[in-house]
C-alpha cells in the first residue's frame, strides 16, 4: 500500500535493554547476554534496511554504564573489538554506513580505533546509517553542542534551536520518528533527550536478544497506526477520501 510506505519511519532509535536478564534467566553470565545482543543488533540492522528505514540509532553503552562491575565493562569493550572484526565487512557489503556518537575521549585507544576504522570503511555507504551511541548521554550531547557553538564564536542572542541542532551529535539525521525500548523499563535513561521531542515512543517487555524481525514489525505496525500531531489538531480521512480536520472551534 502506497500509504503504508509513507508510514515507515525514516529514523528509528533503540534502547537495546535486557541482555543481562536474558542471560540470568538461562543461568548464564551477563556477558553471554551481551554477545547474543550483538547478534540481535545485526539482525535488527538487516531488517531495518529491508524495511526501508534510512537511519537506525542504537544505545550500546551509556555514559552511566561505567558504574557497572569492572569485568562487565571490560567484557563489553572486548565485545566491541570482536564484533567489529566479525561483522564489519558483512555490514559494509549490505550498504551500512556506521557512525559513532558519544564522548570518545574516555574510551580506550583500542576501542576508539576500532570504531573509527568502522566509520572509515563504511563512509561511502548509502543504504542505511547506523549510529552507535557509545559512552553517550543525552545531557552530554546538549552540553557539547553548546560548548562547540560558543567555541565557534556564537553569541548568546545567536543561539537558537536551529543553531544548536547543527552541533548535536546526530546533526546529519532527521529526528527519530520512532523510539523503541526493549526490556520492560519505561524510561529514556539519558538517551537522545533533545532529539526525541516528537518521537513516537514504543516500549516492549521483549528482552533485547529476543527482539527479532517479527518484534520489529510489531513496533512498525504500532507506529504506522499513530497520529502524529506535533501540537496541531487531529486529522482524519472522511468517507469521501477528503481530509477533514477535527479541530475545536477557534
171, 192, 172: which is closest to 14 by C-alpha?
Answer: 192
Q: Which stretch binds ligand IPE (CB under 6 A): 16-24, 92-100, 105-113, 124-132?
A: 16-24
Site for ligand IPE in 180-219 (CB under 6 A): 183, 185, 187, 189
Cell of 139: 545531557
Q: Which of 24, 46, 65, 78 is catalytic?
A: 65
The item of ligand IPE, Mg ion, none sharing an interface with residue 62, based on CB under 5 to 8 Å by kind, is ligand IPE
Residue with CB nearest ligand IPE? 20
Q: How far is the CB of 49 from ligand IPE (least distance, A)?
A: 21
Contact (Cβ atoms closer than 8 angstroms) between residue 17 and residue 204: no
Give how far Cα 167 sits from Cα of 143, 161, 162, 173, Å. Answer: 10, 10, 9, 12
Q: How far is 206 from 212, CA to CA, in rounded Å?
A: 10
Q: Is 175 in the site for Mg ion (CB under 5 A)?
A: no
Q: How far is 122 from 99, CA to CA, in rounded Å?
A: 9
Give me the sign of the Cα torsion angle 73, 143, 100, 104.
negative
Q: Among 9, 36, 49, 61, which residue sits at the site for ligand IPE (rule: CB under 6 A)? A: 61
x-or-dash string of contact with Mg ion, 6-35, rule CB under 5 A: -----------x------------------
Cβ-based burial of 147 (10 A; exposed 0-12, middle 13-18, buried ≥19): exposed
Q: How far is the CB of 117 from ligand IPE (least distance, A)?
A: 21
Q: Which residues bind Mg ion (CB under 5 A)?
A: 17
Q: Which residues bind ligand IPE (CB under 6 A)?
A: 15-21, 59-62, 65, 76, 183, 185, 187, 189
Catalytic residue set: 17, 65
Amino acid at each position: 500500500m502506497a500509504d503504508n510506505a509513507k508510514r515507515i519511519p525514516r529514523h528509528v532509535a533503540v534502547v537495546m535493554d535486557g541482555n543481562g536478564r536474558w542471560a540470568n534467566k538461562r543461568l548464564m553470565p551477563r556477558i553471554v547476554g551481551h554477545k547474543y545482543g550483538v547478534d540481535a543488533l545485526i539482525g535488527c540492522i538487516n531488517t531495518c534496511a529491508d524495511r526501508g528505514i534510512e537511519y537506525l540509532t542504537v544505545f550500546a553503552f551509556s555514559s552511566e554504564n561505567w558504574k557497572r562491575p569492572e569485568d562487565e565493562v571490560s567484557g563489553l569493550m572486548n565485545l566491541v573489538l570482536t564484533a567489529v572484526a566479525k561483522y564489519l565487512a558483512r555490514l559494509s557489503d549490505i550498504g551500512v554506513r556506521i557512525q559513532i556518537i558519544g564522548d570518545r575521549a574516555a574510551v580506550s585507544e583500542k576501542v576508539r580505533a576500532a570504531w573509527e576504522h568502522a566509520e572509515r570503511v563504511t563512509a561511502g555507504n548509502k543504504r542505511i546509517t547506523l549510529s552507535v551511541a557509545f559512552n553517550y548521554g543525552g545531557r552530554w550531547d546538549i552540553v557539547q553542542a553548546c560548548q562547540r557553538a560558543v567555541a565557534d564564536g556564537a553569541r548568546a542572542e545567536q543561539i537558537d534551536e536551529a543553531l544548536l541542532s547543527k552541533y548535536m551529535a546526530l546533526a546529519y539525521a532527521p529526528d527519530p520518528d520512532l523510539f523503541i525500548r526493549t526490556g520492560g523499563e519505561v524510561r529514556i535513561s539519558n538517551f537522545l533527550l533533545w532529539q526525541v521531542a516528537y518521537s513516537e515512543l514504543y516500549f516492549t517487555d521483549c528482552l533485547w536478544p529476543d527482539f527479532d524481525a517479527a518484534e520489529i514489525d510489531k513496533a512498525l505496525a504500532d507506529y504506522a497506526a499513530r497520529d502524529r500531531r506535533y501540537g496541531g489538531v487531529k486529522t482524519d480521512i472522511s468517507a469521501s477520501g477528503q481530509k477533514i480536520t477535527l479541530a475545536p472551534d477557534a
